[in-house]
Structure 1
Amino acid sequence: MFEKMDKDFVLHTYARNYVNFKQGINATLYDDKGKDYIDFTSGIGVVSVGHGNARVADAICEQVKNITHISNLYLIEPQAKLAKKIVTLSGFDMAVFFGNSGAEANEGAIKIAREYGEKMFKNKKYKIITLENSFHGRTITTVKATGQTSFHKPYFSPYPEGFSFNENIQKIYDVIDDETVAVMIELVQGEGGVQPFDKKEIQKLAAFLKEKGLLLIVDEVQTGIYRSGEFLATNLYEIEPDIITLAKGLAGGVPIGAVMTKHKDIFEPGDHGSTFGGNYLSTRAGLEVLEILEGYKNSGKLDEMLMYFEKNLSEIAQKYPNLFVDSVGLGLMRGLRCHSAEILSHAIQSAFDEGLLVLKAGKNTLRLLPPITISKEEVDEGFKRMIRAFDKLS
Structure 2
Amino acid sequence: MVEDLKQMDLDYVLHTYARDYTHFVKGSGARLFDKSGRDYIDFGSGIAVCSVGHGNERLAKALSEQAYNLIHTSNLYCIEPQVRLAKKLVELSGYDMRVFFANSGAEANEGALKIARKFGEELGKIKRYQIITLDSSFHGRTISTLKATAQNKMHHYFGPYPDGFVYAKNLAEIPHKVSNITCAVLLELVQGEGGITPLDREEILHLEKFLKEKNILFMVDEVQTGIYRSGELFASRKYGINPDVITTAKGLGGGVPIGAVMTTLKDIFVAGDHGSTFGGNFLSTRAGLEVLEILEEEKSSGRLDTKIECFSVKLQNLQKTYPEIFIEEVGLGLMRGLRMRNLDTLENLLKNAKQNQVLILKSGKNTARFLPPLTITLEEIEEGFKRLERAIRDLKL
Name the TM-score, length of structure 1 as normaliser.
0.99
Change over 3 Å in CA distance of 1:121–1:193 after alignment to 2: farther
Question: What's the counterpart of residue 296 of structure 2?
Answer: 294
Question: What's the counterpart of residue 200 of structure 1?
Answer: 202
Please give the alpha-carbon distance, in whole angstroms, between the structure 2 residues aligned to 1:197 and 1:263: 25
Post-superposition offset of 1:317? 1.0
Q: Does the alignment pair 1:129 with 2:142?
A: no
Please give the alpha-carbon distance, in whole angstroms, between the structure 2 residues aligned to 1:120 and 1:149: 35
Question: What's the counterpart of residue 240 of structure 1?
Answer: 242
Q: Does the alignment pair 1:139 with 2:142?
A: yes
**Which of 253, 256, 279 is residue 255 of structure 2 equivalent to?**
253
SS at match of 2:121: helix
Post-superposition offset of 1:323? 1.1
Question: What's the counterpart of residue 78 of structure 1?
Answer: 81
**Which of 279, 282, 289 is residue 280 of structure 1 equivalent to?**
282
Please give the alpha-carbon distance, in whole angstroms, between the structure 2 residues aligned to 1:113 and 1:242: 10
Q: Where in structure 2 are the equivalents of 1:257-272 lying within 5 Å?
A: 257-272=259-274
Post-superposition offset of 1:204? 0.5
Please give the alpha-carbon distance, in whole angstroms, between the structure 1 residues aligned to 2:124 and 2:314: 51
Q: Where in structure 2 are the equivalents of 1:1-394 lying within 5 Å?
A: 1-119=4-122, 122-153=125-156, 155-394=157-396
Please give the alpha-carbon distance, in whole angstroms, between the structure 2 residues aligned to 1:75 and 1:57: 24
SS at match of 2:132: strand
Q: RMSD of the TM alignment (CA)?
A: 0.8
Unaligned runs of 5+ in 2: none
Equivalent pairs, count:
393
Please give the alpha-carbon distance, in whole angstroms, between the structure 2 residues aligned to 1:119 and 1:320: 57
Post-superposition offset of 1:217? 0.4
Name the TM-score, length of structure 2 as normaliser.
0.98
SS at match of 1:81: helix
SS at match of 1:118: coil
SS at match of 1:260: strand
Please give the alpha-carbon distance, in whole angstroms, between the structure 2 residues aligned to 1:45 and 1:121: 45
Q: Larger deviation: 284-293 or 144-153?
A: 144-153
Please give the alpha-carbon distance, in whole angstroms, between the structure 2 residues aligned to 1:119 and 1:13: 41
Please give the alpha-carbon distance, in whole angstroms, between the structure 2 residues aligned to 1:66 and 1:121: 51
SS at match of 1:308: helix
Residue-by-residue CA offset, 1:55-102 (whole Å, 9 max, x unaligned): 000000000001000000000000000000000011010000000000
Residue-by-residue CA offset, 1:107-160 (whole Å, 9 max, x unaligned): 00000000000047822100000000100000011010001111111x101011
SS at match of 2:69: coil
Amino acid at match of 1:332: L
Amino acid at match of 1:189: Q
Please give the alpha-carbon distance, in whole angstroms, between the structure 2 residues aligned to 1:152 and 1:365: 22
Amino acid at match of 1:224: G
Change over 3 Å in CA distance of 1:5–1:121 after alignment to 2: farther
Please give the alpha-carbon distance, in whole angstroms, between the structure 2 residues aligned to 1:199 and 1:232: 14
Please give the alpha-carbon distance, in whole angstroms, between the structure 2 residues aligned to 1:358 and 1:119: 47
Amino acid at match of 2:15: H
